[in-house]
Amino acid sequence: MLALQATALLEDRLLDNSVINVGSTPRYGEYGTIKYAIIPVAGLGTRLLPATKAIPKEMLPLVDRPLIQYVVSEAISAGIKNIVLVTHSSKNAIENHFDTSFELEATLEKRVKRQLLAEVQNILPKDVTIMHVRQGEAKGLAHAIMCAYPIVGKNPFAVLLPDVIIDTAKSDLQKENLAAMVKIFEETGQSQIMVEKVPHEDVISYGIVDIGGKELSPGESTPIRSMVEKPPVMEAPSDYAVVGRYVLPAEIWPLFKRTPLGAGGEFQLTDTIDLLMNMEGVNAYNICGCSHDCGNKLGYAETFIEVAMRHHDIGPDIIKFMRKALAELPTEPEAKPEAKA
């Protein structure tokens, strides 16, 4: 794979010293259709330390595939062929995962491990291009997306946050969720943000959308009135939380220049979308099935167990093990009665 290195020279404070590594020449000038998916992978994964000290969090496995492979596969299932990874100097393992490993393939061929060889060779379909953009320093999600501009150009695009895995057993990734969001955008030009209903007491942990009190069916898309970041429980406009999937128009690119510094002294995508909503409508797309947050220890562990129990090779044995382990757990001791005065 050819690698190009260049310094991004946009007239924007967000793009100073961004380094671009391009695997092949992307297609420019195509408006209205989603040809690019931007996946920000430059984060340090502090919520999963110490596991992520030397290993990118995106390379942590769900049984036999790393998290990033699930997310890239989701974009491909939605018909997107150009994947832009906004990365960091410490994330070479991600780039290597999607590159060809001639030595490994030769070894598998020599040992007649043809099934494994096929799996390794099919990690990335031949008609899909992975491109890498270096984010020099962490300045927020809006900054990470802006780093992809030299590749994406004046085109609409999708954004997939790699912490979030969409449950493939509970939805059809070729027809629902991101694929449906892309289809709606290409038919209507309406931006789409995926949302998922969360317990009311948990809204304080999410970005929440105001959709005028509507209850959404799976796969339904409706206009957003406003978005609130981590509102107090009593002030939340709904229980619909932003999941981490976006389909955004080319018109948003100039708005990144106008995005003010937000929470934590970073440029937040939510603030850029607020500017977009002042110009045009943005819709909430209600997820089909469910998502898994793998960006924290509990969410990652729960997702690993669920994926393992459904795995075609080891699933039945994992279920048997889980039943045995649960049966052997000690019962919780009864609470002692309080001593009488």
CATH of the domain at 50: 3.90.550.10
Beta strand 65-66 pairing with 19-22: unpaired
Is residue 339 situated within a structural domain?
no
pLDDT greater than 50 at residue 16: no
| Residue among 171, 188, 23 at smallest CA distance from 95 | 23
The average pLDDT across 219-238 equals 94
Amino acid 11: pLDDT? 35
Residue from 60, 76, 253 nearest 178 by CA: 76
pLDDT value, residue 334: 61
Instruction: Count H helices and E strands in the chain, helices first.
Output: 11, 16
DSSP string, 232-276: -GGG-S-SEEEEEEEEE-GGGHHHHTTPPP-GGGS--HHHHHHHH
**pLDDT per position as a tens digit, 174-199:** 999 999 999 999 999 999 999 999 99
Of 63-77, 118-132, 157-171, 305-319, which gets the smallest average pLDDT? 118-132
DSSP output for 90-150: T-HHHHHHTS--HHHHHHHHHTT-HHHHHHHHTSS-TT-EEEEEE-SS---HHHHHHTTHH
Asked if the bond preceding 162 is cis, omega within 30° of 0, the reply is no
pLDDT at 339 over 60: no
Cβ atoms of 162 and 40 closer than 8 Å? yes
Q: Output the six-digit token pair for 101.
A: 């490993």
pLDDT above 60 for 5? no
Whether residue 237 lies inside any domain: the answer is yes
Q: Is 216 helix (H, G, I), strand (E, B) or coil?
A: coil
Task: pLDDT band for 253, please (50, 70, 90 cuts).
Answer: very high
Range of the domain at 287: 4-295
Which residues are CB-contacts of 256 (< 8 A; sequence separation ≥ 6)?
A: 12, 14, 142, 145, 146, 149, 267, 272
Query: Does 289 map to a domain?
Result: yes
3-state SS assignment for residue 45: coil
Q: At what angle do helices 315-327 and 297-310 cross, to 10 degrees?
A: 120
| Band of pLDDT at residue 314, cut at 50, 70 and 90 | very high
Q: Which of 270, 210, 205, 219 is nearest to 238 (CA)?
A: 210
CA 316 to chain CA centroid, nearest Å: 29
Q: What is the pLDDT of residues 48-105, one digit of tens each?
A: 999 999 999 999 999 999 999 999 999 999 999 999 999 988 889 999 999 888 889 8
Residue 66 belongs to a domain: yes
Q: Does some domain include residue 224?
A: yes
Is 249 domain-assigned?
A: yes
Gyration radius from the chain CA atoms: 22
Answer whether residue 125 is part of any domain: yes
Question: Mean pLDDT over residues 113-134, rounded?
Answer: 90
Structural domain contains residue 302: no
Predicted confidence band of residue 264 (pLDDT cuts 50, 70, 90): confident
pLDDT of residue 320: 96
| Beta-bridge partner residues of 84 | 38, 131
* Residue closest to 78 by CA, chosen among 210, 231, 217, 184: 184
Q: In 157-182, which positions are buried (b, 16+ CB within 10 angstroms) versus exposed (e)? A: bbbbbbbbbbbbeebebeebbbbbbb
**72: phi then psi, degrees, rounded to nearest 5:** -60, -40
Structural domain count of the chain: 1
Q: Within the chain, what is the greatest distance between any pair of CA atoms?
A: 80
Residue 30, pLDDT above cutoff 70? no
pLDDT, greater one: 89 or 171 = 171
Tokens 């970041």 identify what position? 229
Backbone angles phi, psi at 4, to 5 degrees: -105, 140
Residue 163 contacts residue 19 (beta carbons within 8 Å): no
The answer to whether 41 and 57 are in contact (CB under 8 A) is no
Please report the pLDDT score of residue 69 as a whole number. 97
Q: Are 259 and 225 in contact (CB under 8 A)?
A: no
